[in-house]
Amino acid sequence: MSPLPTRDKAPRPLPLTLLSAAVLLLLTACGQEIAGRLHVTPGSHYSVSGSDGSLCDDAERPVEGDEATLVGAYFSLAVDCVGEVESLAEAGIDETALPIPEGTSVSFLRFGDPGGAQPLYPGTPPTGLTATVTIGPKSWTEENAGPEPGDLYAWVGSGEPEMRVEVNDNGHVFAIDPRSGEREGVIEALYHGKLTSKQSERVPIDAEFYASDSSYEYTGAVTVFYSAAVERQVFRVEEGWLADDGKALLTVGFSWFESDEEWELVWSAGDEPDFTVEHDGEKIEPVSVEAEKATEQGSTFRDYEITYEVPPSALEFDFAFTPPQSAKWEAQGVTMSLTKGKDPVKFSLDFS
């Protein structure tokens, strides 16, 4: 924020010097120099931090609550109020400033507390962030920072100039018209529940297999443990923004034991395991399924990552994994049916 102009403790002669495009700290009147009072011209502009919230008591609040906010990965802001006043003193900018030119007013925009509308990474130093506040022809731009509660922006001119707040957060543009409250680029999932990872319980599966032919009966048994990690997210630091149309991504990851050097059966779930996700009783279809084999200490696993697009307000989900219903004893050329441990492993997660 630009600091408030300072005033001299005692009048002293100063040369007529342009100190900024916004403010002259000198005015000549009746042939004498008067120091320490702001001379305001059309186009003068100011930015102040820590402004008094009482300014908004009689000002316009086109929208309130979440509709007055913008929220991204590294920022959140709230428009408190907008309006026009007849002096810098009324705007809380300078009590001693000279009157503004006739036919003009001080148009201002104040930011408030976004409340519960918090960024995805609160307290993390932002990166890839550009914030711009515009009133009429004047724009203020900050890199890796944005408007804070109490920040006040003001511009001197005629009429009611257009206003706009725009934040580019890692390639996604969020914007709000402070006068109408119209917003652009809002990601609704940032306003609903928690964007985080959760882990299901670790569930044992005691499996038994059986097959027979005219000469032999074949049996096998194994105990494995199943658990899954589920992430509800819209943004990842290493990837950026993930979902389109304001949706959230639900990503499920788990490993499945297939075989072991000492266990001759291959119990494969294939490239597309029997896994389902439901919300409010409705099945959700995956947008991608990735499977990758891995071997560790003589055991072969298949790692899965299954991704779903979900509505931004969807927070409660039901999951079910059904173990493969057969295994192969490849050395004998026998396919054995699963006779125990056939039931789906079910679990529910709530991201409220």
173 lies in a domain?
A: yes
Q: Which two tokens stand for residue 223?
A: 């105990």
With b for 16 or more beta-carbon neighbours within 10 A and e for fewer, the 18-27 pattern comes to eeeebbbbbb
DSSP state of 341: S
Per-residue burial over 288-307, b if 16 or more Cβ lie within 10 Å, else e, is eeeeeeeeeeeebbbebebb
Indicate whether 204 and 141 sit together in one domain: no
For residues 177 and 188, is the Cβ–Cβ distance under 8 A? no
Which domain-ending residue is among 132, 163, 185?
185
In a domain, 8, yes or no: no
Q: CB of 342 within 8 A of CB of 205?
A: no
Residues 37 and 119 in one domain: yes
What Rg value do the Cα atoms of the chain yield, rounded? 32
Asked if residue 205 and residue 87 are part of one domain, the reply reads: no
Those residues whose C-beta lies under 8 Å from the C-beta of residue 231, and which sit 6 or more positions away, are 196, 197, 198, 249, 250, 251, 253
Q: Which residue has the tokens 């002669």?
A: 13
- pTM of the predicted model as reported, rounded to 2 decimal places: 0.81
Q: Quick one: CA torsion of 236, 274, 298, 329, rounded to 10 degrees? A: -160
Residue 174 and residue 99 share a domain: yes
Q: What is the full per-residue pLDDT of the chain (352 aa) written as tens digits?
A: 333 333 333 333 333 333 333 332 222 222 222 345 667 889 999 999 999 999 999 899 989 999 999 999 999 999 999 999 999 999 999 888 889 999 999 999 999 999 999 999 999 999 999 999 999 999 999 999 999 999 999 999 999 999 999 999 999 999 999 999 999 999 999 999 999 999 999 999 999 999 999 899 999 999 999 999 999 999 999 999 997 777 999 999 999 999 988 888 999 999 999 999 999 999 999 999 999 999 988 899 999 999 999 999 999 999 999 999 999 998 889 999 999 999 999 999 999 9
Q: Which of 164, 185, 206 is the last residue of a domain?
A: 185
Query: What are the C-alpha distances in Å from 40 to residues 29, 99, 158, 293, 297?
Result: 14, 7, 13, 71, 77
**Count of domains for the chain:** 2
Host domain of residue 141: 24-185
Q: Which of 130, 157, 185 is the last residue of a domain?
A: 185
Extract the tokens encoding 75. Answer: 């920022």
> Cβ distance 186 to 69 under 8 Å?
no
**Same-domain status, 141 and 271:** no
User: If we measure between CA atoms, which residue out of 277, 276, 258 comes closest to residue 330?
Assistant: 258
On whether residue 192 sits in a domain, the answer given is: no
Contact between residue 308 and residue 282 where contact means Cβ atoms under 8 Å apart: no
Contact (CB, 8 A) for 289 and 326: no
Closest CA to 99 of 89, 108, 91: 89
Whether residues 346 and 292 share a domain: the answer is: yes
